[in-house]
Structure 1
Amino acid sequence: MCGRTGLSLDKEQLRCACRYRDKSLNDYVKPSYLTEYNDGKEYSPSFNIAPTDITPVLVSARNFQKDSDAGQRILKPMMWGIIPPWHKGDYKSHKLTTNNCRIENIRYSKLYSPILNNGGRCVIVAEGFYEWQTTIKTKIKQPYYIYMKQDFTQPVDDNCQPTSCHTTENVWENKRLLYMAGLYNVWQDSENKNIYSYSVITLESNEVMSWLHDRMPAILECEQQIESWLDVDNVPAEKALSHLLPAKNLEWHPVSTIVNNSKYKSSDCNKKIDLESKVKSSQKPLTEWFKKANKRKSEHEIDHDSVKRKL
């Protein structure tokens, strides 16, 4: 599954990072950023993005601009967690968990099947996502940060912002981003205001991720996968789904449980921690347990003596 992501790039940095080859121009271009507010909320860079937060997603430009050429893309801020098309009233009150949608159920789902067939395919952009593992020893859910294997030596949790949007041969020079296949929908409230929302598609984990969780996001590892998923005009839904496979080119590291708090958005959310040191610091010396046992024994003896005196 996927319950938290991280994306610290601002709009212009994100446009540079999502640069793609426009076949109609035979050149590399940056996707346009289509601003339209969702219930007054706009995208804000964050190291701890949770459902109902607003994040930019990639969509086919033809879904919004009919005169666009096939293959052109835009970045559109949307809310995480699809609002069902049939829902009435406050969008927060639909009571369905829609931050993820299982690939096995999409074709038959009352919610997701019509969206898929109507071309509501999108790509969620992130630097990484978080997943939790329950350890046998401590029974505490340990969070991990998962991301694409990087092509340079800078640690992925070194959160220094790029000072510019320079590219070399049209390749983003900073952290390699993670692209997840998703579905999106536009919902209108009683005042005919549009709210765009999306769900992340998940599938069974492979040998790379099964040690951590039995589900994982449908991650698009190459440009061809991204292009096919977004090309709703030329790639049928069934064929597009066949391109969604468990990713293998991933890395991860443990992080602090501060990420459990969805309101905490700071850069230390994805910082690597030393699990061995954490376990040692949480383990009390044996002498501490003897002290506590002796203290309880002494207190019991005092109580027993006082009872004797009363008798």
Structure 2
Amino acid sequence: MCGRTACTLGPEKLCRACRYQNKASGKTIEPRWIDEQSKADYYPSFNVCPQNKTPVLLSGNQVDGVEEGERVLQTMKWGLLPSWHKGHQRSFHFNTINARLDTVMEKATYRNPLKKGRRCVVLADGFYEWQKMDKGKKQPYFLYFKDEQEKGGDIVEEMDAEEKRITSRILTMAGVYDRWTPPKAMESQEPIYSYSIITVEASKSIGWLHDRMPAILDGEDAIEKWLNTGEYDAEAALALLKPTDCLSWHPVAPAVGNVKNKSEECVKRIDLSTPTKPDTKGGLLNWLKPSPKKRHSVEEETNEEPPCKKTIDF
């Protein structure tokens, strides 16, 4: 499963990191934010949990007023809220942060939006996974694209060292999204866009850590095909998703398990041979302090469930 991620690039750098080659013009361009509100809703974080809003890539053929072949960025809530749900959004209690590839078309929650071409690319620096240890303990790891990972052929060759560093940080995962419209009694509320990350069996390289992993779109060609709803229907696009051996990883401090910890320390490599000790001068202890600005809803701030909570694919 994938139950925690990090996405730390600011809005402008994120656009640069997602540059792509437009097939119609042949030019390398940056995706644009779909609107200023969506851009303002994105807050970079080293510890993203379900119900947070994070950036996703969309194809122009999925968005009104956007040219086909163009890509846009939009923030969506992590944890798909299906369009068929009746009542208040808070009354939907199923865990839909992940959708299993092997059963995704068997469930209306995912099948219906996939049939409508509602596919997206979920963006992150990387994701966290917990290894089960002795005596019920769990050791978290941070997983991300390998440094040498190719992402776009000629596009990469045009980048300077700084741009390559930025691009190497962006993990691209296959997602399905939906648009929930509030009932008439709540007409003043805006529609909610939300997504699930599609998961596949773990690759051989990380099978020791967990039995599943996100469906990673490994390079520009994979991204293009996933977003191309004109040439690839749901079944054809899903058939392209496979386990991939394209990740690096390192152990991180257990404190990342608390969603209130937003520090950069969350992603820092630790030495497992050296016991982690609290830093009385403000290191680990400062993780328990609230963020300088309250950028998350009450629903998000109180989400302190175990990172490896079982996902229900509804």
Task: Please indicate, yes or no, whether the TM-score normalized by the shorter chain is above 0.5.
Answer: yes
Deviations 1:108-127 (A, max 9, x none): 11211111110010000111
Per the TM alignment, residue 149 of structure 1 is displaced from its structure 2 partner at its CA by 0.3
Give me the whole-angstrom Cα distance separating, in 2, the residues matched to 1:148 and 1:243: 19
In structure 1, runs of 5+ residues without a counterpart are 153-166, 283-311
Aligned to 1:22: 22
Aligned to 1:9: 9
- Answering whether residue 52 of structure 2 is matched by residue 59 of structure 1, we say no
Deviations 1:210-232 (A, max 9, x none): 10011110001111110000011
Give me the whole-angstrom Cα distance separating, in 1, the residues matched to 2:221 and 2:111: 24
Within 5 A, what are the aligned runs for 1:16-55?
A: 16-35=16-35, 37=37, 42-55=41-54
Q: TM-score, normalised by structure 1?
A: 0.80
Q: TM-score, normalised by structure 2?
A: 0.79
Q: How many residues align?
A: 264
Give me the whole-angstrom Cα distance separating, in 2, the residues matched to 1:50 and 1:35: 24
Which of the residues 158, 169, 172 maps onto 1:179? 172
Partner of 2:242, secondary structure, is: coil
Deviations 1:203-255 (A, max 9, x none): 11121111001111000111111000001112111111111111101110000
Per the TM alignment, residue 99 of structure 1 is displaced from its structure 2 partner at its CA by 0.4
Give me the whole-angstrom Cα distance separating, in 2, the residues matched to 1:75 and 1:100: 21
Quickly say closer, same or farther: Cα 1:262–1:145, change in 2 above 3 A.
same
Partner of 1:275, secondary structure, is: coil
Aligned to 1:276: 273
Aligned to 2:81: 83
CA RMSD of the aligned region, Å? 2.1
Deviations 1:172-203 (A, max 9, x none): 32141110001011111222511110000001
The structure with the largest alpha-carbon Rg is: 1
Within 5 A, what are the aligned runs for 1:161-310?
A: 169-170=158-159, 172-175=163-166, 176=168, 177-189=170-182, 190-191=186-187, 193-278=190-275
Give me the whole-angstrom Cα distance separating, in 2, the residues matched to 1:143 and 1:35: 36
Give me the whole-angstrom Cα distance separating, in 2, the residues matched to 1:45 and 1:66: 27
Per the TM alignment, residue 132 of structure 1 is displaced from its structure 2 partner at its CA by 0.4
Q: Percent identity?
A: 42
